[in-house]
Chains A and B, each alone.
Chain A
Amino acid sequence: MRKFLFTLVALLGFTTSALADYTMIVPQKPGGGTSQWAQIVATEMEKYLDGEKVILKHIRGARDIPGFNKFHNELRFDDNVIMVSNGGNGISFLNEAVDYNYKDYDSIGLMNLNIITAVFGDHDPYGDTPTSFSGGGGKIPEGIAMTLLKCGNLPTVEAYISCFKEKVNWIKGMKGNERRLAFKRGELHGTRENPASFKKHVQPVIDKGQARLWFHHGILQPDGSHADDPNYPGIQMEKLFVELHGEKPDSILYDAYKLAKSFRDGLQKCLWINKGNPNRAKLIAALEKVASNADSIAIIEKKVGKYEWLMGDAGNAQVDTLMTFVTSDALKTLVQFNTEAFGIKAVYKEDLVK
Chain B
Amino acid sequence: MLEAIAILFAGILYGLIIGIIPSAGASTGLIALFGFISYFAYDPYLGVIFLMAVVAASTTGDSFTAILLGIPGANSAAATMVDGFPLAQRGRAGYAISAAVTTSTVNGLIWGCLVFLLLPWYTNLIYIFGVPELWAFTLLALATVGFLSNQYWLRSILAIAFGIFIGMVGVNPDNNEARLGAQYWFYLEDGIQIMAVAAGLFAIPELTRGLFLKHSTADSKIREGELWAGIKASWDNRWLALRGGFIGAFIGLLPGLGGQMADWMAYGQAVAANPKEKFGNGNIKGVIGPEGANNAQKATSMITTVIFGIPGAKFAAILMSLFMYLNIELGTPDIADDTQLFTAMTFGFLGATVIVGLICMVLIKPISRLAAVPYKYYFPVLLALIIFTSMQYTGGWEDLAMLAIFSCIGFAMRHFKFSRPACLIGYILAEKVEGLTLQITGLYTIDTLVTRPIFMTLIAITIGVFLYSILRKGRIDYA
Contacts and interface: CB of A to CB of B under 8 A. Distances in A.
B38 A31 contact: yes
Interface string B292-315: 000000000000000000000000
Interface string B129-148: 01100000000000000000
A3 B378 CA distance: 8
Contacts of A62: 170-171, 178, 182, 186, 189-190
Given A172-B174, A172-B438, A177-B334, A31 B326 contact: yes
A188 B440 CA distance: 11
B127 A184 contact: yes
B332 A173 contact: no
Interface residues of A, number: 46
A344 B332 contact: no
A10 to B, nearest CB: 6
Interface in B360-398: 377, 380-381, 384-385, 388, 393-394
B120 to A, nearest CB: 16
A181 B174 contact: no
B325 A185 contact: no
A35 interface: yes
A275 B395 CA distance: 27
A169 B442 CA distance: 7
A184 B326 CA distance: 24
B434 interface: yes
A59 B399 CA distance: 13
B165 interface: no
Contacts of A171: 438-439, 442-443
Given A6-B384, A182-B131, 5 more contacts: A2-B381, A178-B332, A178-B435, A184-B127, A345-B177
Given A178-B332, A182-B131, A173 B437 contact: yes
Given A173-B437, A181-B332, A182-B439, A187 B130 contact: yes
Contacts of B44: 31
Contacts of B239: none
A60 B439 contact: no
B329 A174 contact: no
B438 A345 contact: no
A6 B385 contact: yes
A300 B332 CA distance: 24
Given A10-B384, A10-B385, A181-B126, A173 B173 contact: yes
B36 interface: yes
Residue among A62, A132, A180 with max Cβ neighbours from chain B (10 Å): A62
B436 interface: yes
Contacts of B130: 182, 185, 187
B443 A187 contact: yes
A39 interface: yes
**Most chain-A Cβ atoms within 10 A of its Cβ — which of B131, B176, B328?**
B176
Contacts of A174: 435, 438-439
B464 interface: no
B333 interface: yes
B442 A345 contact: no
A29 interface: yes
Given A35-B41, A177-B332, A177-B333, A343 B175 contact: yes
A318 B173 CA distance: 31
Interface in A1-39: 2-3, 6-7, 9-10, 13, 29-33, 35-36, 39
B208 interface: no
A173 B171 contact: no
Interface in B304-346: 324-329, 331-334
B91 interface: no
Interface in B156-185: 170-171, 173-178, 182
Interface of B: 17, 35-38, 41-42, 44, 126-127, 130-131, 170-171, 173-178, 182, 186, 189-190, 324-329, 331-334, 377, 380-381, 384-385, 388, 393-394, 434-439, 442-443
A30 B325 contact: yes
Contact of B174 (A33, A43, A173, A188): A173
A61 to B, nearest CB: 5
Contact of A60 (B37, B126, B175, B393): B393
Nearest to A14: B388
Contacts of B127: 181, 184-185
A7 B381 contact: yes
Counting from the closest, the 3 A-B pairs by CB-CB distance are A173-B438, A177-B332, A62-B189
A321 to B, nearest CB: 27
Nearest to B17: A2
A62 B385 CA distance: 26
Contact of B439 (A9, A36, A173, A345): A173
A177 B325 CA distance: 15
B412 to A, nearest CB: 28
A33 B182 CA distance: 25
A75 to B, nearest CB: 13
A239 interface: no
A6 B33 CA distance: 12
B175 A345 contact: yes
Given A31-B38, A173-B434, A61 B189 contact: yes
A282 B436 CA distance: 49
A121 interface: no
A32 B41 CA distance: 10
B381 A6 contact: yes
B186 to A, nearest CB: 7
Contacts of B182: 62
B336 to A, nearest CB: 9
B333 A184 contact: yes
Nearest to B177: A345
A224 interface: no
Given A61-B189, A181-B332, A30 B38 contact: yes
A58 interface: yes
Contacts of A173: 173-174, 434-439
Interface in A152-199: 169-175, 177-178, 180-182, 184-185, 187-188
A58 B394 contact: no
A344 B176 contact: yes
A132 B442 contact: yes
A187 B131 contact: yes
Interface string A204-243: 0000000000000000000000000000000000000000
B263 to A, nearest CB: 29
Nearest to A175: B435
Contacts of A58: 38
5 contacts: A29-B324, A31-B324, A32-B327, A178-B435, A182-B130
A137 B176 contact: yes
B460 to A, nearest CB: 22
A61 B190 contact: yes
A108 B77 CA distance: 56
